[in-house]
């Protein structure tokens, strides 16, 4: 099968293409409706019935994979390792589903999971899915305020958390963060189930908090509950342009079909082989490729509680690949930049047998050509950049290792994955010629597995994605297709930035900075960062009459953003400026600031209010290493 035939078929005959892929899964009731329209929106497999946890676990045990490793937990930060066979993982998941069920969790109820990278995080996700309930995992690096916002939006019956996480060698107490979030939230869950880790013990709130281990001892296992193809599996919050994160809703049916297909088509992984996504369960990559896809495909997945460097060194990734016989690894370019910085000649790689490793996949941010070339050179393996978003849940563009590997082009995520009809549109919604930059849009219908709505806010789904270009999903990314149909993603067209593979909203940071009593106006932009791709930088105008010195305000702002969003925001630079560049109508010229920061030649817009102030601003940015 050639790439061209597979993609053409998926676009020309989407329903037939996906019906065939769906038939490879063990539905409780095979769908007869493949692609339907409901209230102006496309749906996949609406009348099919399934259970994602059953497909990921029980099915494989029934097929004779019970003793095969399902999940390896490798934790250099605690010095521990554990292997779960499919049978053991199914039993743990069934037991924890019993724990949740005993607390009244059933179909459609929400469970928020705020946990570090421990197997219990995956167990909690799969147990929630087993009951037909909806999980919402919140990344551990988020501060209480962010957790509270998500708890209020998802209104969970139960929150599952842990006593602590470990960042290299620092213990992060999760439980006080959860307690503080619940003090801020209006919605209160009925129960919190807390995993007490040996590294740190959390204090419990009587009447509300339950101990994970104690509950597991007395739990009766719960079986998988049949849900409709369109019933939600999870909500995953992601940054938008405003302070309120968007709850991306993923259904059960399309998700299972798409991820199952992707393991073979994109990653070339067959049942029984080992696949490792070095991400975090709090991100979409972790949802799809640490937990669901490898298990749906009967593979072995790895849950790694560590970093690419310092746990203990820049050989960590290679050690894990060699130790578990990983066939394909998937990580963010920033992780490889961190490894290259510590071990530029990949000396540590040479200590490990990487003969089983066939392919290196990267995503989460643009794979810059120097990192691409370095990874190719030191590993001697194909390095595949693939582009996707929380919203899509799986790759939009990739080089399909399981179908046909096309010649790679540095800086490109190669070609659209089957199911995605990717087009470049100008601002008026017309397709542009090859090599011309524009808005990257996907012609509807989106393939299975992509978001079905925004939780509790269908209007935001239409307004944010479907209304800009009727008939298309607007990705929010800009770029171009070259003469061979290769996609080059050049960056976001909105106020979202990407820091160390993490998606962050500058709009949200601006809202927080503006809440400081000394601040009159501000803007936050992403400037280039060698390691993390981008770093957020705040430009701040103080109110008249403020007597606090600029340095103190800057420090307070850095602390404020860390307190409100969390360490993950990486907001380390705020600069008090005498004037912000603006148009005469008062709009802050963010692009101009970005151009100055990136050292680009810029044209002074004719609409600018005070061009004479620019040299002073540029000099100030230079003085502070921001230009
Ligand atoms: N819980 C609590 N704090 C966390 C956390 C978690 N789960 N994850 C990160 N943090 C903290 C870090 O300790 C750090 O805190 P600090 O400011 O006190 O040092 C801060 O958040 C920023 O973290 P990060 O951006 O990860 O930077 P880092 O310097 O710790 O590590 C890299 C740099 C490159 C090693 C790291 O960013 C990395 O591995 N990135 C890959 C990202 C990824 O997998 N993305 C998913 C998309 S595929
Ligand atoms: P997230 O939703 O956190 O996965 O972030 C998605 C965004 O990250 C996309 O909209 C892109 O801006 C960026 N992104 C992810 N993968 C890539 C890639 N391979 N190339 C370029 N940008 C990427």
pLDDT of residue 47: 98
Asked if residue 403 belongs to a domain, the reply is no
Q: Is 333 in the pocket of ligand 1 (CB under 6 A)?
A: no
608 burial class (0-12, 13-18, 19+ CB within 10 angstroms)? Answer: middle
- Beta strand pairing status for 274-277 and 300-304? parallel
Q: Is 363 in the pocket of ligand 2 (CB under 6 A)?
A: yes
Q: Which of 329, 326, 169, 407 is nearest to 415 (CA)?
A: 407
Q: Is 284 in the pocket of ligand 2 (CB under 6 A)?
A: yes
pLDDT digits (tens, 9 = 90+) for 433-479: 999 999 999 999 999 999 999 999 999 999 999 999 999 999 999 99
Mutation pick for ligand 1 pocket among 288, 413, 500 (CB with most ligand atoms within 8 Å)? 500
Work out the average pLDDT over 555-562.
Answer: 98
Asked if residue 601 belongs to a domain, the reply is yes
Given pLDDT bands bounded at 50, 70 and 90, which one contains residue 311? very high
Q: Is 489 in the pocket of ligand 2 (CB under 6 A)?
A: yes
pLDDT of residue 69: 98
Q: Is 285 in the pocket of ligand 1 (CB under 6 A)?
A: yes
pLDDT of residue 612: 86
Q: Is 385 in the pocket of ligand 2 (CB under 6 A)?
A: yes
Q: Is 504 in the pocket of ligand 2 (CB under 6 A)?
A: no
Q: Is 115 in the pocket of ligand 1 (CB under 6 A)?
A: no
Determine contact, residues 78/72, Cβ cutoff 8 Å: no
78 backbone dihedrals φ, ψ, rounded to 5°: -115, -5
User: What DSSP string describes 296-334?
Assistant: HTT-EEEEE-S-SSSSS-TTHHHHHHHHHTEEEEEE-HH
Q: How far is the CA of 25 from the centre of ligand 1 (A)?
A: 36
Asked if residue 582 belongs to a domain, the reply is yes
Tokens for 522, please give them: 């501000």
Angle, vertex CA 574, rays to CA 572 and CA 577, nearest 5: 165
Determine contact, residues 360/384, Cβ cutoff 8 Å: yes
Q: Is the pLDDT of residue 610 over 90?
A: no
pLDDT digits (tens, 9 = 90+) for 370-421: 999 999 999 999 999 999 999 999 999 999 999 999 999 999 999 999 999 9
pLDDT of residue 228: 98
Given pLDDT bands bounded at 50, 70 and 90, which one contains residue 181? very high
CATH number at residue 513: 3.30.300.30
Q: Is 230 in the pocket of ligand 1 (CB under 6 A)?
A: no
Asked if residue 619 belongs to a domain, the reply is yes
Q: How far is the CA of 383 from the centre of ligand 2 (A)?
A: 17
pLDDT digits (tens, 9 = 90+) for 112-133: 999 999 999 999 999 999 999 9
pLDDT of residue 149: 96
Q: Is 397 in the pocket of ligand 2 (CB under 6 A)?
A: no
Asked if residue 584 belongs to a domain, the reply is yes
Query: Quick one: which atom of ligand 2 is closest to the CA of 475?
Result: 10
What's this model's pTM, rounded to 2 decimal places? 0.96
> Residue 79 contacts by C-beta under 8 Å, 6 or more apart in sequence?
none
pLDDT of residue 539: 97
pLDDT of residue 204: 98
Q: For 113, which DSSP code?
A: E
Q: Is 386 in the pocket of ligand 2 (CB under 6 A)?
A: yes
378 backbone dihedrals φ, ψ, rounded to 5°: -75, -30
Q: How far is the CA of 260 from the centre of ligand 2 (A)?
A: 21
Given pLDDT bands bounded at 50, 70 and 90, which one contains residue 526? very high
| Helix, strand, or coil (residue 521) | strand
Given pLDDT bands bounded at 50, 70 and 90, which one contains residue 243? confident
- Cα–Cα distances (Å) from 381 to 329, 355, 361, 384, in that order, read 11, 10, 10, 9
Asked if residue 421 belongs to a domain, the reply is no
Which ligand is closest to the CA of 334, given by its number? 1
User: What is the count of structural domains for the chain?
Assistant: 1
pLDDT digits (tens, 9 = 90+) for 249-284: 999 999 999 999 999 999 999 999 999 999 999 999
Asked if residue 234 belongs to a domain, the reply is no
pLDDT of residue 241: 77
- Cα–Cα distances (Å) from 188 to 37, 150, 377, 565, in that order, read 36, 12, 52, 21
Q: Is the pLDDT of residue 111 over 80?
A: yes
Mutation pick for ligand 2 pocket among 283, 331, 366, 494 (CB with most ligand atoms within 8 Å)? 366
Q: Is 83 in the pocket of ligand 1 (CB under 6 A)?
A: no
Tokens for 388, please give them: 């996707």
Q: For 252, which DSSP code?
A: S
Query: Quick one: which atom of ligand 2 is closest to the CA of 283?
Result: 3
Q: Per mean pLDDT, which range of 43-47, 67-71, 518-522, 583-587 is the poorest?
A: 583-587
pLDDT of residue 602: 86
Work out the average pLDDT over 552-563.
Answer: 97
pLDDT of residue 223: 98
Q: How far is the CA of 167 from the centre of ligand 1 (A)?
A: 8
337 backbone dihedrals φ, ψ, rounded to 5°: -65, -40
Q: Is the pLDDT of residue 605 over 90?
A: no
Distance of alpha carbon 302 from alpha carbon 296, whole angstroms: 14
Tokens for 524, please give them: 């936050």
Asked if residue 83 belongs to a domain, the reply is no
pLDDT digits (tens, 9 = 90+) for 143-166: 999 999 999 999 999 999 999 999
Shortest-distance Cα residue to atom 38 of ligand 1: 335
pLDDT of residue 1: 80
Q: Is 113 in the pocket of ligand 2 (CB under 6 A)?
A: no
What residues make up the domain containing 576? 504-623
Q: How far is the CA of 568 from the centre of ligand 1 (A)?
A: 6
Q: How far is the CA of 205 from the centre of ligand 2 (A)?
A: 40
Distance of alpha carbon 352 from alpha carbon 8, whole angstroms: 41
pLDDT of residue 327: 98
Which ligand is closest to the CA of 338, given by its number? 1
Q: How far is the CA of 17 from the centre of ligand 2 (A)?
A: 26
Distance of alpha carbon 605 from alpha carbon 589, whole angstroms: 9
Work out the average pLDDT over 501-513.
Answer: 94
Mutation pick for ligand 2 pocket among 288, 411, 477 (CB with most ligand atoms within 8 Å)? 477
Given pLDDT bands bounded at 50, 70 and 90, which one contains residue 601? confident
Determine contact, residues 130/161, Cβ cutoff 8 Å: no
How long, in residues, is the chain?
A: 627
Determine contact, residues 499/534, Cβ cutoff 8 Å: yes
Q: How far apart are the first and last CA of the chain?
A: 50
């Amino acid at each position: 099968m050639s790439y061209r035939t597979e993609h053409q078929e998926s676009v020309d005959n989407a329903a037939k293409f996906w019906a065939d892929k769906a038939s490879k899964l063990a539905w409780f009731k095979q769908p007869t409706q493949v692609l339907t329209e409901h209230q102006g929106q496309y749906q996949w497999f609406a009348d099919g019935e399934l259970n994602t946890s059953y497909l990921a676990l029980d099915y494989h045990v029934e097929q004779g994979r019970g003793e095969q490793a399902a999940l390896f937990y490798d934790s250099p930060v605690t010095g521990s390792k554990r292997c779960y066979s499919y049978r053991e993982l199914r039993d743990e998941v069934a037991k924890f589903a019993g724990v949740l069920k005993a607390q009244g969790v059933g179909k459609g109820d929400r469970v928020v999971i705020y946990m570090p990278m421990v197997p219990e995080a995956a167990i909690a996700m799969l147990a929630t899915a087993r009951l037909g309930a909806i999980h919402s995992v919140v990344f551990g690096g988020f501060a209480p305020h962010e957790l509270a916002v998500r708890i209020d939006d998802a209104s969970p019956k139960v929150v599952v958390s842990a006593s602590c996480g470990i960042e290299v060698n620092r213990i992060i107490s999760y439980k006080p963060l959860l307690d503080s979030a619940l003090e801020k939230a209006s919605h209160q869950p009925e129960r919190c189930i807390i995993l007490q880790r040996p590294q740190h013990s959390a204090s419990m709130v009587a009447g509300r908090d339950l101990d994970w281990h104690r509950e597991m001892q007395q739990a009766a296992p719960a079986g998988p509950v049949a849900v409709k193809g369109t019933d939600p599996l999870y909500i995953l919050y992601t940054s938008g342009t405003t302070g309120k994160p968007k709850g991306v809703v993923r259904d059960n049916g399309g998700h299972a079909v798409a991820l199952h297909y992707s393991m073979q088509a994109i990653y070339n992984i067959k049942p029984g082989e080992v696949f490792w996504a070095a991400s975090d369960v709090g991100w979409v990559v972790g949802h799809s490729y640490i937990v669901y896809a490898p298990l749906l495909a009967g593979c072995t997945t790895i849950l790694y509680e560590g970093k690419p460097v310092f746990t203990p060194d820049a050989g960590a990734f290679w050690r894990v690949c060699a130790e578990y016989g990983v066939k394909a690894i998937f990580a963010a370019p920033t992780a490889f930049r961190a490894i290259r910085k510590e071990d530029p000649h990949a000396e540590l790689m040479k200590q490990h047998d990487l003969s089983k490793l066939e392919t290196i996949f990267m995503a989460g941010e643009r794979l810059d050509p120097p990192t691409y070339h370095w990874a190719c050179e030191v590993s001697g393996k194909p390095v595949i950049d693939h582009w996707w978003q929380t919203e899509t849940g799986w790759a939009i563009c990739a080089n399909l290792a399981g179908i046909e590997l096309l010649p790679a082009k540095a800086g490109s995520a190669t070609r659209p994955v089957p199911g995605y009809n990717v087009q470049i549109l100008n601002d008026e919604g017309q397709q542009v010629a090859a090599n011309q930059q524009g808005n990257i849009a996907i012609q509807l219908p989106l393939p299975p597995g992509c978001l079905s709505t925004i939780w509790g806010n269908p209007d935001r789904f239409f307004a944010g994605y479907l209304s800009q270009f009727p008939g298309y999903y607007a990705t929010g990314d800009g770029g171009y297709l070259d003469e061979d149909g290769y996609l080059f993603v050049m960056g976001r067209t909105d106020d979202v930035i990407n820091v160390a593979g993490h998606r962050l909203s500058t709009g949200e940071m601006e809202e927080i900075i503006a809440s400081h009593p000394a601040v009159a106006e501000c803007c936050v932009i992403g400037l280039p960062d060698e390691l993390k791709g981008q770093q957020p930088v705040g430009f701040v105008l103080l109110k008249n009459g403020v007597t606090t010195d600029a340095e103190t305000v800057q420090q307070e702002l850095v602390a404020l953003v860390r307190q409100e969003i969390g360490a993950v925001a990486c907001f380390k630079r705020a600069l008090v400026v005498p004037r912000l560049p603006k148009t005469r109508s008062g709009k802050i010229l963010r692009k101009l600031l970005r151009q100055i920061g990136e050292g680009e030649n810029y044209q002074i817009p004719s609409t600018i209010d005070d061009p004479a102030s620019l040299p002073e601003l540029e000099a100030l940015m230079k003085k502070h290493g921001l230009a």
